[in-house]
Structure 1
Amino acid sequence: MAGPEGVAVFPPLDDAEVVAALEALAKRHRGASGLGMQVLGMVGGSAEALLEKLPAAVKGRLDGATQAALTGAFTAAARSRGVVADRADWLNTALATAMGAAGGFGGLPGALAELPVTVTVLLRAIQGIAYEHGFDPADEAVRLDCIEVFASAGPMRVDDGAEAGFLAARVTVTGQSLNALIAKVAPRLSAVLGQKLAAQAAPVLGAVAGAAINYAFTSYYQEMARVNFGLKRLARERGLDEGNLREELRARITAKGRGRIAGKG
Structure 2
Amino acid sequence: MRQVDFVALVDAAENLETMSLATRMSQLVGLPVEKAMTALPGPWADIVAGITKMALKKALDSALFSLRAMPGEPANKTHQVLAGLSGALGGSFGIAALAIELPISATIMMRSIADIARSQGEDLDELDTRMACLSVFALSGGGSGAESADTGYYAMRSFLTKALNDTANHVAALGLSQEGAPALVKLLSAVSTRFSLPVSQKLVVQAIPAIGLIGGASVNLLFINHYQKMAKAHFTVRRLERRYGEALIKHAYTEIVISIAENKSNVALNKID
Same fold (TM over 0.5): yes
Whole-Å Cα distance in 2 between the matches of residues 56 and 261 of structure 1? 37
Unmatched runs of 5 consecutive residues or more in structure 1: 1-13
Unmatched runs of 5 consecutive residues or more in structure 2: 171-181
Counterpart pick for 2:135 among 148, 157, 170:
148
| CA separation of 1:89 and 1:226: change in aligned 2, threshold 3 A | same
8 Å Cα contact 1:131-1:137 kept in structure 2: yes
Counterpart pick for 1:61 among 38, 47, 52:
47
| CA separation of 1:208 and 1:246: change in aligned 2, threshold 3 A | farther
What is residue 174 of structure 1 aligned with on the other side?
A: 169
Deviation sequence 1:208-259 (CA, Å, 0-9, x none): 22112111111111111111111111222x3x22244134224423531453
What is residue 259 of structure 2 aligned with on the other side?
A: 255
Deviation sequence 1:113-158 (CA, Å, 0-9, x none): 201111111111111111111212232111110111111125xxx3
Counterpart pick for 1:125 among 108, 112, 115:
112
8 Å Cα contact 1:98-1:211 kept in structure 2: yes
8 Å Cα contact 2:17-2:152 kept in structure 1: no
Counterpart pick for 1:242 among 233, 243, 246:
246
2:62 is equivalent to residue 76 of structure 1: yes
State the secondary structure of the residue aligned to 2:205: helix
| CA separation of 1:253 and 1:217: change in aligned 2, threshold 3 A | farther
2:209 is equivalent to residue 209 of structure 1: no
The AA in structure 2 aligned to 1:190 is S
Instruction: State the number of aligned residues.
Output: 246
What is residue 177 of structure 2 aligned with on the other side?
A: none
8 Å Cα contact 2:15-2:229 kept in structure 1: yes
Whole-Å Cα distance in 2 between the matches of residues 232 and 82 of structure 1? 20
Q: Which has the higher helix share?
A: 2
Mapping of residues 1-265 of structure 1, within 5 Å: 16-29=3-16, 32-33=19-20, 37-82=23-68, 88-153=75-140, 158-160=142-144, 161=148, 162-164=151-153, 167-169=156-158, 170=161, 171-172=164-165, 173-175=168-170, 176-236=182-242, 238=243, 240-260=244-264, 263-264=267-268
The AA in structure 1 aligned to 2:103 is P
8 Å Cα contact 2:83-2:105 kept in structure 1: yes
TM-score calculated relative to the size of structure 1: 0.81
8 Å Cα contact 1:152-1:165 kept in structure 2: no
8 Å Cα contact 2:114-2:124 kept in structure 1: yes
Q: What is the identity percentage for the equivalent residue pairs of Structure 1 and Structure 2? A: 27
8 Å Cα contact 2:137-2:227 kept in structure 1: yes
